[in-house]
Amino acid sequence: MNHYLLLTPGPLTTSETVRQAMLKDWCTWDDDYNVGVVQKIRAELVSLATTSPHYSSVLMQGSGTASVESVLGSAILPSDKILIINNGAYGKRMAEICQVLKLNHHVLNFKETQAPDLELIEQTITQDKEITHLAMVHCETTTGMLNPLVDVAQMCQRLDIRFILDAMSSFGGIEMDIGDLGIDFMISSANKCIQGVPGFGFVIGRKQSLERCRGNASSLSLDLYDQWHTMETANGKWRFTSPTHVVRAFAQALTELKQEGGVAARQERYRENQSRLVKGMLKLGFEPLLSSTMHSPIITSFYSPAASDYDFKRFYEGLKQLGFVIYPGKVSDADCFRIGNIGEVYPADIDRLLAAIEETIYWEKLPVTA
């Protein structure tokens, strides 16, 4: 079978051993699975996220968005109001979830290439006394921007605001201690920096905040408290059918994260991938969308070439034939494309990609113009 390298924000390229872990069938009622796999994963996730004893984790079937919806639909009580920070497609998606669920919310909109304005956020919170929660995306893969996690977390602690963090594309690839940051709920997915496969997301939450969700969910299947309570009291059992093969693959991915040297080592690899990519792309005439101070080690957006005969689909297919898959752009006011740096991808792979891009270039004129 011919495999190509997925240079996307997820699903992403996984190791052969992670894929092999899915070859065995598991029984969802068996302790070998619930205690030996699920409970172990839950404990390891908490230990990756924080040293605080006040946190627990819950796994949720579905996409990462399902876990985000689970948190918003369970944690925001009728008496609450949430402030959504939006500077990309995934901040916008949280706002859409709030609209669909009819949650009391306010959205602060920023441009996709603009970092959130900390002064404006604080001003909004202090002027609107109804606000009890704040939600923000850590790594906004619309552009590859890394939003100011520490600054926002400290602000929430100072103003006594509950903080919900969408760390979908950063957890496991960027070091953080959510206990030190005072985060109430952190949400991520199996198919991101842990380097598992798609099928479930997970929430690491303050136990007190999870208890507060009891009886408040707007959905049966996405009831965060009931899912957590069942896993806590029934030795890791899921309320509904567990994605057993995906869970087992994730357990293997966690083992491989530990073997690599943990989050710090993985973050360093991702940073080297991203740095090498940007330097090589600049040499080829491609300009990054964001300034280097805004870049995350997760994914990078580049302006499309200004040449009249450039066509992304043709460029994409040329790279795919050479074994590489990149991502189209998602920015509303800029013609660009994206290249991910995460997954089972190493600096040598980035070097091969750059050689493939140079081979694939068919238009006559660069440089790229902003």
Q: Rounded to whole angstroms, how far apart are CA atoms 94 and 72?
A: 8
| Model pLDDT, residue 108 | 98
| Model pLDDT, residue 124 | 98
Tokens coding 34? 């619930």
For 9-28, what is the mean pLDDT?
Answer: 93
The one-letter code for the residue type at 26 is W
- Report pLDDT digits (tens) over 42-101: 999 999 999 999 999 999 999 999 999 999 999 999 999 999 999 999 999 999 999 999
Q: The whole model's pTM is what? A: 0.95
Confidence of residue 2 (pLDDT cuts 50, 70, 90): low
Which residues, in sequence order, are CB contacts of 303 under 8 Å at separation 6+? 286, 287, 288, 289, 334, 335, 336, 368, 369, 370
The answer to whether residue 367 scores a pLDDT higher than 80 is no
Tokens coding 362? 């068919």
Diameter over CA atoms, the chain: 64
For 102-113, what is the mean pLDDT?
Answer: 97
Q: Among candidates 177, 226, 145, which has minimal Cα distance to 49?
A: 177
Which residues, in sequence order, are CB contacts of 76 under 8 Å at separation 6+? 82, 98, 103, 104, 105, 133, 216
- Report pLDDT digits (tens) over 131-178: 999 999 999 999 999 999 999 999 999 999 999 999 999 999 999 999
DSSP assignment of 142-206 equals: TTTEE--HHHHHHHHHHHT-EEEEE-TTTBTTB---HHHHT-SEEEEETTSTT---SSEEEEEEE
The answer to whether residue 368 scores a pLDDT higher than 80 is no
Top pLDDT among 80 and 363 is at 80
The answer to whether residue 370 scores a pLDDT higher than 50 is no
Top pLDDT among 306 and 49 is at 49
- Report pLDDT digits (tens) over 202-231: 999 999 999 999 999 999 999 999 999 999
3-state secondary structure of 107: strand
Q: Rounded to whole angstroms, how far apart are CA atoms 118 and 154?
A: 11
**Which residues sit opposite 135 in a β-bridge?**
84, 164
Average pLDDT score over the chain: 95
Q: Among candidates 254, 359, 332, 360, which has minimal Cα distance to 89?
A: 332
Length of the chain: 370
Q: Where are the alpha helices (DSSP H) in the chain?
A: 16-20, 31-33, 40-49, 64-75, 89-101, 118-127, 149-159, 178-181, 207-212, 224-233, 244-260, 262-283, 312-321, 347-360
* Structural Rg of the chain based on CA atoms: 21
Confidence of residue 308 (pLDDT cuts 50, 70, 90): confident
| Model pLDDT, residue 365 | 47
The answer to whether residue 234 scores a pLDDT higher than 90 is yes
3-state secondary structure of 262: helix
